[in-house]
Amino acid sequence: MKQMALIHTVINLLLMVHGDVSSSSSAVGDPEMKRDGLRVAFEAWNFCNEVGLEAPHMGSPRAADCFDVSTSGYSLAHKVSDSDNNLGIGKSKQGVISEAALHNPDLYAVEKELYLGSLCQVSDEPNPWSFWMVMLKNGNYDTKSGLCPQNGRKIPPFDQPGKFPCFGTGCMNQPVLNHGKTQLLSDGYTMRGWFNGTYDVDADGVSYYEVVWEKRVGVGGWVFKHKLKTSSKYPWLMLYLRADATKGFSGGYHYDTRGMLKTLPESPKFKVRLTVDIKQGGGPKSQFYLLDIGSCWKNNGEPCDGDVTTDVTRYSEMIINPETELWCNPKTLHNCPPYHTFRNGTRVHRTDSQRFPYEAYHVYCAPGNAEHLELPVGTCDPFSNPQAQEILQLLPHPVWGEYGYPTRRGDGWVGDPRTWELDVGALSSRLYFYQDPGTTPARRIWTSVDVGTEIYKDEGAVAEWHLSDFNVLIT
């Protein structure tokens, strides 16, 4: 027994040393998802990234599953109780929920997330970190609800039949959330936990989401297995696993958040490594993001400060569904960024139909509050973020090959699982983003790095994928 204990100690020492080496260049708290003591949380957003109204008996749509594995034997010591996860409006908690948040579902979720983050927090250099974030979003928008601002400005309810999916009053509801706390299975070494549920609160199992995480103690890394199914009432759903900033604003969210990025990656000096195994694509409308990066800066290049009328969320995404339509082409220049920059720095304008790589872009849309846009231009949806947004969506194409991104439609798709090492930093430093003329270029610091799918208005579509080995490396 003594010898066993000694061997254990040596192994632990080796693991600790190894852990230090790999974490020195990693921006995430849990490089490659290898840490036995998992930290994972759940958040659900309505159309404009708020709560709006809590689902009955579900509490505030924030939850966490965090535990350490005991060193003596194999048992899991959980850090978040059921009553923590059940916190919701009307439930007070001393020193956690403020008076202002007690009956305000949006603010309550923010304070609950910070609290869950504190329970899960792991000390580390240069910053403590809290958890991977499972993000679920319902794309329904009831324009008569008055719930969403327009480019960050409050607007009264309005009528706009047909433009946004919504079956009627209550279509922006939060989902049912079931949680299987991580357990050690009876084989003695497999750890497994899950979140699942539906938006169809009255008819169970019509729309569906599920994330199951699994790992063997001391071996390999966590595998996150995702499923997402849309329904006729909920045709537009999003499910991502996010590495968010550990403090400050993460992409698309104007409140202080908690997350996994203990160092914020800045273009051009970072890479992202991940393994993605897509089992079911989710139909032609499934915008599967091999990677989505999100940040926020103002049109004058200044960092965001929480003023939603001038802050602008910036996203760039590589969509790998080969059925994705080519919205940017020589006849639809408003869907293309004004120019493309090759790796060697050469810029090609979108009107240069001989040299511009149209097929490398799905769509570009500009911030609705930008004042010096090059025409023709499409502006982004003004309602689906708490502030204006700018989005640049990429498709597999030879021009991205130098950055380790897929070059052909179908690469990495169903039946073609791959481990990617993406030079996201170099690529994102060359992407077009709008800025006011004559202003200093914004520092491109990314506050969230996500993987998952957005099924954009399709009924009964099913997507299923596994994600593992996720890491963000500072180079």
Ligand X SMILES: *[C@@H]1O[C@H](CO)[C@@H](O)[C@H](O)[C@H]1NC(C)=O
The H or E element spanning position 137 is strand 132-138
| Residues 79, 121: Cα–Cα separation, whole Å | 10
CB of 43 to ligand X, least distance (A): 18
Contact region for ligand X (CB under 6 A) — 190-198, 266-274, 294-302, 306-314?
A: 190-198
* Of 60, 138, 198, 387, the one binding ligand X by CB under 6 A: 198
What residues contact 141, with CB distance under 8 A and at least 6 apart?
47, 48, 148, 164, 165, 166, 171, 172, 383, 384
Please say which residue, 28 or 136, places its beta carbon nearer to ligand X. Answer: 136
Residues 391-420 that bind ligand X (CB under 6 A): none
* Of 178, 232, 419, 439, the one binding ligand X by CB under 6 A: 178
What six digits make up the tokens of 178? 């079931």
CB of 355 to ligand X, least distance (A): 7
Q: What is the CA radius of gyration of the chain?
A: 22
CB of 404 to ligand X, least distance (A): 17
Could you give the 3-state DSSP secondary structure of residue 83? helix
Question: What amino acid is encoded at 52 in this protein?
Answer: G
CB of 165 to ligand X, least distance (A): 22
Please say which residue, 325 or 352, places its beta carbon nearer to ligand X. Answer: 352
What residues contact 143, with CB distance under 8 A and at least 6 apart?
157, 158, 159, 160, 163, 164, 166, 383
x/- mask, ligand X, residues 257-296, rule CB under 6 A, reads: ----------------------------------------
| Residues 20, 53: Cα–Cα separation, whole Å | 43
Residue pair 39/29 in contact (Cβ under 8 Å)? The answer is: yes
Residue indicated by tokens 């998992």: 38
CB of 194 to ligand X, least distance (A): 6
Q: Is 154 exposed, middle or buried (0-12, 13-18, 19+ CB in 10 A)?
A: exposed
Please say which residue, 356 or 470, places its beta carbon nearer to ligand X. Answer: 356
Please say which residue, 88 or 193, places its beta carbon nearer to ligand X. Answer: 193
Size of the site for ligand X (CB under 6 A): 11
Contact region for ligand X (CB under 6 A) — 114-122, 143-151, 192-200, 295-303?
A: 192-200
Q: Which residues pair with 361 in a beta bridge?
A: 394
Please say which residue, 183 or 475, places its beta carbon nearer to ligand X. Answer: 183
Judged by CB under 6 A, does residue 425 bind ligand X?
no
Could you give the 3-state DSSP secondary structure of residue 43? strand
Please say which residue, 193 or 248, places its beta carbon nearer to ligand X. Answer: 193
Could you give the 3-state DSSP secondary structure of residue 335? helix
Contact region for ligand X (CB under 6 A) — 34-42, 59-67, 83-91, 194-202?
A: 194-202
The H or E element spanning position 76 is strand 76-78
Please say which residue, 204 or 436, places its beta carbon nearer to ligand X. Answer: 204
Please say which residue, 146 or 180, places its beta carbon nearer to ligand X. Answer: 180
Residues 342-361 that bind ligand X (CB under 6 A): 342, 344, 346
* Of 197, 322, 337, 412, the one binding ligand X by CB under 6 A: 197
Per DSSP, 301 falls in state S
Residue indicated by tokens 């357990």: 183
Please say which residue, 149 or 396, places its beta carbon nearer to ligand X. Answer: 396
Contact region for ligand X (CB under 6 A) — 20-28, 189-197, 310-318, 333-341?
A: 189-197
Contact region for ligand X (CB under 6 A) — 195-203, 246-254, 263-271, 296-304?
A: 195-203
Q: Is 128 exposed, middle or buried (0-12, 13-18, 19+ CB in 10 A)?
A: middle
* Of 205, 220, 376, 460, the one binding ligand X by CB under 6 A: 205
Q: C-alpha distances in angstroms, 347 versus 65, 291, 341? A: 47, 24, 4
Residue indicated by tokens 């609290």: 115
Positions touching ligand X (CB under 6 A) are 178, 180, 194, 196-198, 204-205, 342, 344, 346
